[in-house]
Amino acid sequence: MLATAIAGAGIGLRTPHVQQILADDSLEIPWLEVLVDNWLVEGGLNQHLLNRISERFPLVFHSVGLSLGGANTLDVDYLNKIKSLKQACGGHWYSEHASFSGNDDFKVADLLPLPYTAEAVMHISNRIKQTQDIMGERILLENVSTYMSCRHNELSEGEFIAAIAEEADCYLLLDINNAFVTSVNLEQQLQSFLDAVPAKRVKQIHLAGFHQKGDYLLDAHNHPVDPQVWIAYQRYIQLNGNIPTMIEWDSEIPSLNRLLQERQIAADMMQLNAKAGVDRCA
């Protein structure tokens, strides 16, 4: 188990790449993000493989199944399983989404946005505090892609995320692709969202590719990062310094070499940023 700090550009650990990652001693990947929902079976081959990977690469943990903003009782058993796996593999932090996925009567696979209201800020903040008490540390909260706006909104999305971070005293995972998708779908200014999010709390960045569906963008994670998202990312780190950045690719998963090429673009931008003297400690 490594204790190395998380820095630089990483990738998401995906099942088709596991054996190649373990077999290739020459691979130089600063860190990997583990989608824990795929690794929660105790013992067996999964645990063995993840233990071996954790011996070579620093890991961070990410999940999609908590429904942090939901109205149902928080799933303590699920969190305890994540905590146990994270401790076993030396994971550096754990992140989830500012969203919900149903209630006690129904459940969906999607990450549904919350209404941007003061009531919702308090609701999800209280659940984040409960989560942080269980995990014994501050978690990272990620912004999600949206396709329509709620008529009950009282705040902008950026103000909503900032209010939650302040109330819950949590860190943030800034997904610039999600923010771009939302800005196009809702005809909003991406920069207004980025300006509203407190950069001092951003501990990780996600970059991914979307799918052009004609009159809207689908956050499909099945393409390379869009050039416009790269431009927004480069501008963001120029303003705020280098922040650990991860490439997400979840559908139509490419070869590991192709994924690493995408990672290298982020790494090159961070290197240029460091040379310009705007690096920051994560």
Write out the two tokens for 209: 């590719």
Phi-psi region of 66 (alpha: psi -120 to 50; beta: other; left: phi over 0): alpha
pLDDT exceeds cutoff 80 at 2:
no
Instruction: Compute the half-sphere exposure of residue 173: CA atoms within 13 Å on the CB side of its CA.
Output: 26
Instruction: Kindly report, residue by residue over 198-212, the tens digit of the pLDDT.
Output: 999 999 999 999 999
pLDDT exceeds cutoff 80 at 233:
yes
DSSP states of 34-48: EEGGGS-S-SHHHHH
Helix (H, G, I), strand (E, B) or coil at 246: strand
In the chain, the percentage of residues whose pLDDT exceeds 70 is 97
Give 136's strand partners.
Answer: none
Query: What's the pLDDT score for residue 279?
Result: 62
Query: What's the pLDDT score for residue 270?
Result: 97
| Helix-helix angle 227-240:176-185, to 10 degrees | 120
Give the C-alpha separation, 211 to 224, whole Å: 10
Instruction: Kindly report, residue by residue over 181-199, the tens digit of the pLDDT.
Output: 999 999 999 999 999 999 9
| Helix-helix angle 256-275:227-240, to 10 degrees | 40
Query: What's the pLDDT score for residue 42?
Result: 74
pTM of the predicted model, to two decimals?
Answer: 0.95
Is the distance from CB of 222 to CB of 251 less than 8 angstroms? yes
